[in-house]
Amino acid sequence: MKRLVNCVIMALIAGVSVSLLAAADDAKPKYTIKEVMKFHKDKIHEKFQKGEASKEEKQKLLEGYEAMLKQKPPKGTEEDWKKKCEALVKAVKDDDKDAFKKAVNCGSCHGAHKGG
Ligand code: HEC
């Protein structure tokens, strides 16, 4: 009987750790900042500006910028970073090409937030 109780306790502990791990995974952003920058290298942002991005590409941009929002930049204040990333998320959501052009300004964000 004691063995059975131990077994049940072990199973409970294992169950709890699994759900804790799952929760941690949830909090992990889908893309790193560098991965999102690859979308820029692939010129998905240019397609968006021209209105040529597919639904999947828009979704990628949106998820990428939302993931950036959850991370800290290598440099600069978190407040300014959030503002810049939120502007990107909003522009993609609203399909607002003019707002996007301003928000995706490579130099102004790199100057403020890119380390190295
Ligand atoms: C909202 C801020 C922001 C904007 C806008 C932005 N970047 Fe970046 N970019 C970053 C940050 C922060 C890094 C540094 C990431 C790191 O070191 O983890 C970076 C790094 C990069 C890198 C180097 C990636 C690597 O693997 O080291 C490239 C290439 C790049 N950006 C391209 C672009 C291009 C092209 C644009 C404009 C179309 C752009 N980025 C717009 C924030 C931005």
Distance CA 36, CA 107 (A): 16
Distances (CA, A) of 6 to 2, 13, 17: 6, 11, 17
Pocket probe mutation, ligand 1, options 31, 41, 97, 110, max atoms within 8 Å of Cβ: 110
Within a 13 Å sphere around the CA of 102, how many CA atoms are in the beta-carbon half?
9
pLDDT at 98: 97
Ligand 1 atom 36: the closest Cα is on which residue?
A: 106
Q: 27 pLDDT exceeds 90? A: no
pLDDT tens per residue across span 70-84: 999 999 999 999 999
Q: How far is the CA of 111 from the centre of ligand 1 (A)?
A: 10
Pocket probe mutation, ligand 1, options 31, 40, 48, max atoms within 8 Å of Cβ: 40
> Could you tell me which of 57, 80, 58 has the C-alpha nearest to residue 69?
80
Considering the entire predicted model, what is its pTM? Answer: 0.83
| Per-domain boundaries in the chain | 1-30, 31-113
> Could you tell me which of 95, 91, 114 has the C-alpha nearest to residue 37?
114
Residue 53 binned pLDDT confidence (cut-offs 50, 70, 90):
very high
C-alpha torsion 71→77→78→81, nearest 10: -70
Residue 12 binned pLDDT confidence (cut-offs 50, 70, 90):
low
Q: 115 pLDDT exceeds 80? A: yes
Write the single-letter amino acid at 112: A
Q: 23 pLDDT exceeds 80? A: no
Quote the percentage of the chain above a pLDDT of 70.
77
Distance CA 66, CA 82 (A): 10
Ligand 1 atom 22: the closest Cα is on which residue?
A: 37
pLDDT at 41: 97
Q: 4 pLDDT exceeds 60? A: yes
